[in-house]
């Protein structure tokens, strides 16, 4: 049996705690019989504590600080996130990199901190349209992966998300060939430093919705999705999870 695919919803700065917790309750009711997919919800920090989930449903934070505590106004540490019952932390999302100027060095510190706490990072990488058009995609992915993972000995607990910046929230998805190649490139880069890279999940993110999910989940090397917009809507998010479940069931 292969890897169990992951369908993760990154809510970004959306949903108040009550909305989030009732959404999660309804999703779990709708997907009671789900067996072959893990579903992750990533609410804003304020919603983390309110999520009541049982496997195969999990909670992720969208960011963290690398220090455990101290004078860091506005920040949240991984141990605080862990206290809320989350299992994952999204690190290096393109909005953090581009809007909040997060550097590879910060991302590396955050990844280490998540790992040392026993949580699992969902580590995001991806190129801008300018980088793709100037054929820099492989170079950018290599640089983000190597700098982000610098000094990290094992990535067993890491989930990688390939999110081309130009496909995020634009309605444009990368085509199947672009996704397959990027996922292969990521796996090759990781394989030069780590073992058992075949077991690592590499998710695709960028305008995934209930209409394209069936096609995208069958692209070689895609082990699930990181979804923004379509994860805010109960019908579309549950339908994507169902689609992935159905495709996976056929494989087994
Ligand atoms: P969209 O699915 O809205 O394109 O967002 C993708 C994303 O950024 C998930 O982290």
Q: Are 40 and 31 in contact (CB under 8 A)?
A: no
Catalytic-labelled residue, pool 36, 65, 93, 183 = 93
Is the pLDDT reported for residue 49 higher than 60?
Answer: yes
Is the pLDDT reported for residue 252 higher than 90?
Answer: no
1 versus 72: which is more confidently predicted? 72
Per-residue pLDDT at 187: 98
Mean pLDDT to the nearest integer, 113-119: 97
The response to whether residue 173 sits with its C-beta less than 6 Å from ligand 1 reads: no
Is the pLDDT reported for residue 242 higher than 80?
Answer: yes
Is the pLDDT reported for residue 1 higher than 70?
Answer: no
Write the DSSP string, 24-36: HHHHHHHTTT--S
> 56, 63, 62, 59: which is closest to 23 by C-alpha?
59
Counting ligand 1 atoms within 8 A of each CB, the residue from 165, 208, 210 with the most, and so the one to mutate, is 208
Percent of the chain at pLDDT > 90 equals 96
Mean pLDDT to the nearest integer, 75-99: 98
The response to whether residue 168 sits with its C-beta less than 6 Å from ligand 1 reads: yes
| H helix count then E strand count, the chain | 9, 8
Is the pLDDT reported for residue 67 higher than 80?
Answer: yes
Is the pLDDT reported for residue 86 higher than 60?
Answer: yes
The minimum-distance atom of ligand 1 relative to the CA of 209 is 2
The minimum-distance atom of ligand 1 relative to the CA of 230 is 2
The minimum-distance atom of ligand 1 relative to the CA of 168 is 4
Q: Is 93 tagged catalytic?
A: yes
Confidence of residue 224 (pLDDT cuts 50, 70, 90): very high
Give the contacts of 192 (CB within 8 A, at least 6 positions apart): none
Q: Is 163 tagged catalytic?
A: yes
Q: How far is the CA of 224 from the centre of ligand 1 (A)?
A: 13
Mean pLDDT to the nearest integer, 230-234: 98
Q: How far is the CA of 227 from the centre of ligand 1 (A)?
A: 5
Counting ligand 1 atoms within 8 A of each CB, the residue from 8, 9, 11, 12 with the most, and so the one to mutate, is 12
Classified as helix, coil or strand, 203 is strand
For the segment 118-169, what is each residue's pLDDT rounded down to a tens digit? 999 999 999 999 999 999 999 999 999 999 999 999 999 999 999 999 999 9
- The residues pairing with 60 across neighbouring beta strands, listed in sequence order, are 88
Confidence of residue 2 (pLDDT cuts 50, 70, 90): confident
Q: How far is the CA of 128 from the centre of ligand 1 (A)?
A: 14
Is the pLDDT reported for residue 227 higher than 70?
Answer: yes
- The residues pairing with 130 across neighbouring beta strands, listed in sequence order, are none
Per-residue pLDDT at 125: 98
Q: What is the mean pLDDT of the chain?
A: 97
Q: Are 183 and 221 in contact (CB under 8 A)?
A: yes
Is the pLDDT reported for residue 109 higher than 70?
Answer: yes
């Amino acid at each position: 049996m292969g890897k169990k695919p992951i369908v993760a919803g990154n809510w970004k700065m959306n949903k108040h705690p009550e909305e989030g917790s009732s959404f999660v309750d309804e999703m779990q009711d709708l997907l009671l019989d789900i067996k072959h997919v893990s579903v992750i919800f990533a609410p804003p920090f304020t919603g983390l504590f309110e999520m009541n989930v049982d496997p195969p449903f999990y909670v992720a934070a969208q960011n963290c600080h690398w220090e455990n505590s101290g004078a860091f106004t506005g920040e949240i540490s991984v141990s605080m996130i862990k206290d809320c019952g989350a299992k994952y932390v999204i690190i290096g999302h393109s909005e953090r990199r581009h809007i909040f100027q997060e550097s590879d060095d910060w991302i590396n510190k955050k990844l280490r901190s998540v790992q040392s706490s026993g949580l699992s990072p969902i580590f995001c990488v991806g190129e801008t349209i300018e980088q793709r058009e100037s054929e820099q995609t492989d170079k950018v992915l290599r640089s983000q992966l190597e700098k982000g993972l610098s000094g990290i000995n094992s990535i067993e607990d890491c989930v990688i998300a390939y999110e081309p910046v130009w496909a995020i929230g634009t309605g444009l998805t990368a085509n199947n060939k672009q996704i397959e190649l990027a996922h292969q490139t990521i796996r090759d880069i990781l394989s030069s430093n780590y073992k058992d890279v075949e077991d690592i999940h590499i998710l695709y993110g960028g305008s995934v919705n209930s209409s394209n999910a069936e096609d995208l989940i069958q692209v070689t090397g895609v082990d699930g999705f990181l979804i923004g917009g379509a994860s805010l809507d109960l019908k579309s998010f549950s339908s994507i999870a169902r689609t992935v479940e159905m495709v996976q069931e056929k494989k087994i």
